[in-house]
Chains A and B, each alone.
Chain A
Amino acid sequence: MNVNNNQITPPNWAKKLFRLLIKPEYLEEIEGHMEERYQDNLAHFSIRKARRLYIRDTIRLLRPVLMTRTGRKYQPNGNIMFRNHLKTALRSFNKEKAFTTINVLGLSLGVCCNLLITLWVLDEFNHDTFHEKGDSIYQVLRNQTFEGDGGINTAFGTSYPIGDALIENIPEIITQVRYATGGTIALEANTQLTEANLVAADAGFFQLFTFPMKEGNYKTCLSELNNIVISAQLAGSRFPNESALGKVISILAEGQKMDFAVAGVMENIPQNSSLQFDIMIPIGNFLPFNNPNESWGNSWLTTYVLLEKGTSIDLVNDKVKDLPGELADVNWFTLLLHPFEDRYLFSKFQNGQSVGGRIDHVILFSIVAVFTLIIACFNFINLTTARSSKRSKEIGIKKVMGANKSTLLSQFMIESTLLTTGSVFLGILLAQLFLPVFNQVASKQLTINYQNPYFYLVLAGIALVTVLLSGVYPAVFLSSFHATSALKGRLKKKFSTLFIGKALVVFQFSLSMILVAGAIIVYMQLSFIQEKNLGIDKEHVVYMPLDIQTSGHRKAVMTEIEKHSSIRSVSAANGNFIRRMGSTSDPVWEGKSPDAAQQWFSIMDVDFGLLEMMKIEVMAGRTFSPEYFTDTLNYIINENAAKTMGIDNPVGKAMKFWGEKGGTIIGVAKNFHFVSLRSPIDPIIVRCRPERSGFVYAKIMPGQTKEALNHMIDVHEQFSTLPFTYHFLDEEIENGYRNEKRTQKLAGTFSALAILISCLGLLGLASFSAQQRMKEIAVRRILGAKTMGLINLLSKQYLKLILLGVMIGIPIAHYWGSQWLQKFAYSVSIRWWIYGFPILMILLVSILTISRISLKAVNTNPTDSLKNE
């Protein structure tokens, strides 16, 4: 129509303006009037003047008489239209079942993930929140400075005198409660033996922490030394149908049997408490086992204090800090008060400052949750708008017949709202379904509490975001089609949609790349850890702790066990090879310089033959041997200990510590991993103390595990009536990596999810573009293009996007991967194929997705695409 130069016609915007504002029924006449006037003016004046006059007239046109009255248009009956829209919506879903299913599934998957992660995050924040005085309770920590190191190590263990010292010297500290764990012990109740988790605490424990008492007085239940508080579950199972108060319970530990009288039964401790135990006795009972108790350096318990309400913690911390120095002349650590409620999430310290801890994971997962939902919503939008061309005829006709924009808008809003609400419900269903699996992986007991009003709040939030985000845009987009173009089949090519779609594909694929590469790295590191030569032979080794009955017959038990053919060798040690045993800086040795900096050693006690069983190589000197009966006074050190000591030939040098007589270093052992591969190897001193080696180790012939265990049970029962406990060394070591295993599983799952969602996004984008180019494809077909060539043509642009995404993902994955690996003292190195494999996999999956779309597009009969021209 407008072949003329733009300058000769009246200004378009002015026209648009009065078109917008003038009453529609006057519009034709007035527009014509303006046009003719303009032509008139053109004849008499210059073009510029004519345009100016036009504009002036336009402005003068805007008088109330002529203007449109907003909103007073003819509205169809709301109710009837709603029912019609519903019908139309359902019909359109039915017509495209596959598409609708994929779309809904994708969105509900996003909702499900989001919900699960939200539950997890909420649970994490909910730990330890039930204590009434919670915000005034603090845990006492120690900041230790090591001269050699120069760094500050924050320790959670405190010594006995600290609590009282705090109360006496700091007025703002009202009470203190000491708390120590006793581990799993055997107890006898109502003539039956069972195991329980034992802790000990000061009498004020239940006044500080809110663990409600079912029976008994919470103030006095720990006042007598032989009082014991048990959990409701224990009471119920040991003393059913009667009150447990006053009943006698015997604890069998440390080679003794001690009687206690039940003074309180407490409600079972909720799962979200970081303090967990079955039975509690007054802490006085532990004192004899932990001498010297006046020593400020003997840290075997935790101390909790209660501050006056409203006290400034910084003020108190200032006062508390140098107490050890002031009161006990102890200068190698200072005290720090840490909020109890932060204990669960903020336990990481660096240089004496709280720098986070578990909270970092929580934040990470929160971000993941938000992202998952957003991506799912965007995919939904993409897929929906991609199918829009199929609706264009319908929209065009409706508009021509007089439907106004708001009617169409409400139609599409109803459609998208139906879909999105459906997805939300499906998402909840999926979440409920996957909850058990998720709980297992995350080792929690999350539930969807349908009673809890909070749940509905959270749900409403998620639903609202989803519906708004995913529903509004497609509705607006669809209702804004230009009637005639829509009927002609020409779609409004919104450039921005395409761009967002492309950007999203790139983003999703880089995310997938990161996740898959990350999962591979985690997997490799885990396998490495488990298979790396620890320096000890951990295969087929069972260890059993001696209980109070068998420990009296240690030698006999060991001899008996060895008799069986399935047992290769038997020995003993004072613990599990994984857990850190006490460390000390006491040792002095021949050649130690008098003003040397403090050096710390871990101490291990073993029986003869253990080092050989574990295949710990003694490089210099010799191992312990029964031939040398003075060996019980001698020591073997590991390489790192020798290095720390700084003497060249340690063999033969004298050494002593802990007030003992002292002996000679008879051998140097090759370094072996004491604790997890996360930490460097400690300097270790090994003593030969068969009588202190309370754990019997047995090496089993491979393949005869069952017989060996049965035999051991038999032997145990000969000497003890208590239950038989045993552990496999390699299992215990693996358990130490439980966290990593969980991360591995999660990473694997999320990678798969990410790829799935990315492909959904890709699907949407590819469909959209394929539709846009239907005519082009048709014409090319007619002109003789081959199928392969066309598929190539279509796919090229996506492959570019995917490669871009992958390229972005690689450096990020590499950075994070190396950071994570640094946490381990020993780690795998990153090879090129760690990135190559994910790239290949991603490309494969995406090619499959694209080719499906392309194939469908290419195989359409060209006449179908072109017949409407």
Chain B
Amino acid sequence: MKKSRLGEFQELILMTIVVLKEDAYGLGIQRDLEERLNERLSVGAIQTALKRLEEKGFLTSEWGEATNKRGGKRKRIYTATPYAHQVLREMRDIRTQLWDAMPNLGTNNA
């Protein structure tokens, strides 16, 4: 199982990317995740994760357009690969099964 190779943080980023669709670029991901987690993240952490994910084959990326806001630098837009989708589904599957096996913890779920 490849579960050990995808850390929690990386998983979160991957999911954010899927959610954001064509807005999935460095800062966008950072903003979104910060809001959901309610904590500040560093650029370095985000970028590192992105690069690692790309290396492992979970992401592809391509250049977007340059805006003045970024001082003329282009954005890089990330997309999750089919492989990434598959892995995400697998992980959710395992989690679901585990939750199911857990006795009376917290609220109901299905």
A residues sitting closer than 8 Å to B (CB atoms) are: 26, 28-37, 39-40, 56-57, 60-63, 65-66
Flag the segment in B8-16, B44-52, B83-91 that touches A.
B44-52
Nearest residue in B to A29 (C-beta to C-beta)? B76
Contact A29 to B71, CB < 8 A, known contacts A56-B42, A65-B51: no
A56 to B44, CA, bound (A): 10
Specify the main secondary structure of chain A where it touches its partner. Answer: helix
Residues of chain A lying within 8 A (CB to CB) of residue B66: 32
Closest chain-A Cβ to B68's Cβ sits at a distance in Å of 10
Nearest residue in B to A61 (C-beta to C-beta)? B44
Q: Which 9 A-B pairs have the closest CB atoms?
A: A32-B73, A60-B44, A32-B70, A60-B42, A33-B26, A61-B44, A35-B71, A57-B43, A29-B76
For residues 34 through 82 of chain B, which have their beta carbon under 8 Å from a beta carbon of chain A?
42-48, 51-52, 66, 69-76
A535 to B74, CA, bound (A): 99
Listed residue (A28, A36, A63) with the most chain B CB atoms within 10 angstroms of its CB: A36
A671 to B72, CA, bound (A): 97
Residues of chain B lying within 8 A (CB to CB) of residue A62: 44
Residues of chain A lying within 8 A (CB to CB) of residue B70: 32-33, 35-36
Indicate which residue in A26, A36, A37, A65 contacts B52 across the interface (CB closer than 8 Å): A65
Specify the main secondary structure of chain B where it touches its partner. Answer: helix
Closest chain-A Cβ to B48's Cβ sits at a distance in Å of 5
Listed residue (A39, A56, A65) with the most chain B CB atoms within 10 angstroms of its CB: A65
A56 to B43, CA, bound (A): 9
Residues of chain A lying within 8 A (CB to CB) of residue B42: 56-57, 60-61
Residues of chain B lying within 8 A (CB to CB) of residue A29: 26, 47, 73-76
Listed residue (B26, B44, B51, B74) with the most chain A CB atoms within 10 angstroms of its CB: B44
Indicate which residue in B45, B69, B72, B74 contacts A60 across the interface (CB closer than 8 Å): B45
B residues sitting closer than 8 Å to A (CB atoms) are: 26-27, 30-31, 42-48, 51-52, 66, 69-76
Interface contact B27-A40, CB-CB below 8 Å? yes
Interface contact A66-B47, CB-CB below 8 Å? yes
Indicate which residue in A30, A32, A37 contacts B30 across the interface (CB closer than 8 Å): A37
A38 to B51, CA, bound (A): 21
Interface contact A31-B44, CB-CB below 8 Å? no
Interface contact B43-A37, CB-CB below 8 Å? yes
Interface contact B71-A33, CB-CB below 8 Å? no
Residues of chain B lying within 8 A (CB to CB) of residue A40: 27, 31
Contact A63 to B44, CB < 8 A, known contacts A28-B74, A29-B74: yes
A630 to B34, CA, bound (A): 132
Number of inter-chain CB pairs below 8 Å: 65
Closest chain-A Cβ to B22's Cβ sits at a distance in Å of 16
Listed residue (A29, A40, A63, A65) with the most chain B CB atoms within 10 angstroms of its CB: A29
Closest chain-A Cβ to B39's Cβ sits at a distance in Å of 14
Contact A33 to B74, CB < 8 A, known contacts A56-B42, A57-B42, A60-B42: no
A29 to B43, CA, bound (A): 11
A60 to B42, CA, bound (A): 7
Interface contact B44-A28, CB-CB below 8 Å? no
Interface contact B73-A31, CB-CB below 8 Å? yes
18 new A-B contacts at CB < 8 Å, known A29-B26, A29-B76, A40-B31: A26-B47, A28-B73, A29-B73, A30-B26, A31-B73, A32-B26, A32-B70, A33-B46, A33-B70, A34-B43, A37-B43, A57-B43, A60-B42, A61-B47, A62-B44, A65-B48, A65-B51, A66-B51
A31 to B66, CA, bound (A): 12
Contact A33 to B43, CB < 8 A, known contacts A28-B73, A28-B74: yes
Residues of chain A lying within 8 A (CB to CB) of residue B51: 26, 65-66
A63 to B49, CA, bound (A): 11
A66 to B46, CA, bound (A): 11
A60 to B69, CA, bound (A): 22
Residues of chain B lying within 8 A (CB to CB) of residue A57: 42-44
Nearest residue in B to A10 (C-beta to C-beta)? B71
Nearest residue in B to A32 (C-beta to C-beta)? B73
A304 to B26, CA, bound (A): 93
Closest chain-A Cβ to B56's Cβ sits at a distance in Å of 12
Indicate which residue in B31, B45, B48, B69 contacts A35 across the interface (CB closer than 8 Å): B69
Residues of chain B lying within 8 A (CB to CB) of residue A65: 48, 51-52
Interface contact B43-A61, CB-CB below 8 Å? yes
Interface contact B43-A60, CB-CB below 8 Å? yes
A37 to B41, CA, bound (A): 11
Indicate which residue in A34, A39, A56, A63 contacts B48 across the interface (CB closer than 8 Å): A63
Interface contact A37-B27, CB-CB below 8 Å? yes
Closest chain-B Cβ to A39's Cβ sits at a distance in Å of 6
Closest chain-B Cβ to A14's Cβ sits at a distance in Å of 12
A323 to B72, CA, bound (A): 97
Residues of chain B lying within 8 A (CB to CB) of residue A33: 26-27, 43, 46-47, 70
Interface contact B74-A32, CB-CB below 8 Å? yes
Interface contact A30-B47, CB-CB below 8 Å? yes
Closest chain-A Cβ to B29's Cβ sits at a distance in Å of 10
Residues of chain B lying within 8 A (CB to CB) of residue A36: 27, 69-70
Closest chain-A Cβ to B89's Cβ sits at a distance in Å of 27
A30 to B74, CA, bound (A): 10
Residues of chain A lying within 8 A (CB to CB) of residue B27: 33, 36-37, 40
